[in-house]
Amino acid sequence: MKKLLFKLYDSVRNRFFHNAASRHLPENGDIKKIDEQIVLIKKHAVKLKKYPVSPFFTQKVMNLARTRQKEDVWVNLQIIPTPAVKFAFLTLLVIILFLFIPFNNYDNVQDTASPDPITILYNVDSLNYEIKSDDQALQFALVN
Amino acid sequence: MILNGQDENFDLIVAAKNGDQQALSTLIEKFSEPIHSFIYSIVGDWNIVEDLAQETFLRMISAIKDYEFRAPLKSWLFRIAVNLCRDHFRRKKVRSIVSFLTYDSNEEEISIVDDKQNPLRDLEKKETLHKIEQALKSLPEYLRLVFVLRDIQELTYEEIAKTLKWRPGTVKSRLFRARKEIAKYLIQQE
């Protein structure tokens, strides 16, 4: 019965089939009424397909698409094929950044002892320089 | 299943996939009326139809390169529109909750739908159509979707199944229910 009804409603514009199928419907008043309404709906609903679209709609969409494309960051990464690869690439970039920050932070720079002026000028660590002989003492005196 | 040459817009789609702007414009031109009409039938609000239709085509443009001809382009576009309509309903629901929480009794109630501005009223003044529209609004979303796609947009059962990701049997049973509900609504209105 359901199959028959579907065929009936789908062939509203085929009057021959519609009349033939309608004859098989039960004579029950309520069902007949619902059936008549459905046929009426089918006939009229298609008219709702019409819609007054703005004449500039296409142009508007194309302009908007161009504007969005310029703003889209991914466009600059077009060499990377799929969104998944793009995502993986960005994640890797973030991980690398996080890994390298601790090695280049301010604390590490502070820990490095800066050489005193004598070391810089004479390439000798004056505080730790041990004089073992008279020759070394003379050399030190001459240099400094 | 990949359709390949079966889609009547095959050449246009291929050109659009290769970045042909003219092909994209032609596709938009071709589908703008069914998409507008579909969105209007679902959301019933003239004020936001164009925005949602616009967004549908913008998404089409950005995703056409990944389109694989698994379903006709029309079904694919309707699928995008369905998702956008659902997002709209979700946002509307949140807004209605927020406005309920911040309700000010002194504020004048403003109707979102302005019937006077609706060009469909000027275009088609037949009472039956108006009644069908009202009956549509009374349907739950899933029944409205299937009814609009079949009886207004005239998609095949297979296309509807692909668009809504339902089984063909589900499409038929829900369509039957939707038609019956609308018929009942119309009988009650008489």
Render pLDDT for A27-67 as a digit per residue (tens, 0 to 9). Answer: 666 667 777 777 778 777 877 788 888 889 999 999 999 88
CA distances from A111 to A100, A101, A106, A128 (A): 17, 16, 9, 19
pLDDT > 80? residue B185: yes
Inter-chain touch A61–B61, beta carbons under 8 Å: yes
Smallest CA-to-CA distance from B184 within B134, B126, B121 is with: B134
One domain, residues A63 and A43: no
Distance between B58 CA and the closest CA of chain A, angstroms: 6
B72 — contact with chain A (CB < 8 Å)? no
Other beta carbons within 10 Å of B11: 11
Question: Residue range B24-39: average pLDDT?
Answer: 93
- The reply to whether CATH 3.40.640.10 applies to domain B1-106 is no
Distance between A105 CA and the closest CA of chain B, angstroms: 42
One domain, residues A99 and A122: no
Q: How confident is the model at residue B53 (pLDDT cuts 50, 70, 90)?
A: very high
CA distances from A67 to A60, A64, A70, B32 (A): 11, 5, 5, 20
B172 — contact with chain A (CB < 8 Å)? yes
pLDDT > 60? residue B47: yes
Q: How confident is the model at residue A98 (pLDDT cuts 50, 70, 90)?
A: confident
pTM above 0.80, yes or no: no
DSSP symbol at A116: P
Number of A/B CB contacts below 8 angstroms equals 106
One domain, residues A40 and A13: yes
Boundaries of every domain in chain B: 1-106, 117-190
Which chain B residues are closer than 8 Å to A85 by Cβ?
A: none
A6 — contact with chain B (CB < 8 Å)? yes
One domain, residues A95 and A118: no
Q: What is the mean pLDDT of chain A?
A: 72
B121 — contact with chain A (CB < 8 Å)? no
Smallest CA-to-CA distance from B71 within B148, B3, B149 is with: B3
Cα separation, B177 vs B165, in Å, equals 18
More confident residue, B108 or A106: A106
Between A37, A45, A61, which is nearest B187 by CB?
A37
> Of A16, A31, A49, at which residue does a domain stop?
A49
Would you call B20 helix, strand, or coil by DSSP?
coil
At residue A43, the pLDDT reads 76
At residue B78, the pLDDT reads 93
ipTM of the complex: 0.71
Instruction: Say which range, A84-98, B4-18, B149-163, has the weakest mean pLDDT.
Output: B4-18
One domain, residues A41 and A8: yes
One domain, residues A119 and A142: yes
Q: For residue A4, what are its two tokens? A: 């028959």
Domain hosting residue A13, numbered range: 2-49
Inter-chain touch B41–A40, beta carbons under 8 Å: no
Which residue matches tokens 């789609």?
Answer: B13
Question: Residue range A82-107: average pLDDT?
Answer: 77
Question: Which pLDDT tens digit goes with each residue over B79-100?
Answer: 999 999 999 988 887 766 655 5
What kind of fold does domain B117-190 have according to CATH?
Arc Repressor Mutant, subunit A (1.10.10)
One domain, residues A79 and A38: no
One domain, residues A70 and A100: yes
Q: How confident is the model at residue B109 (pLDDT cuts 50, 70, 90)?
A: very low
Inter-chain touch B187–A6, beta carbons under 8 Å: no
At residue B127, the pLDDT reads 73
Looking at the structure of chain A, the number of domains it has is 3
Q: Which of A46, A53, A86 to mutate to test the interface with B (most CBs of B within 10 A)?
A: A53
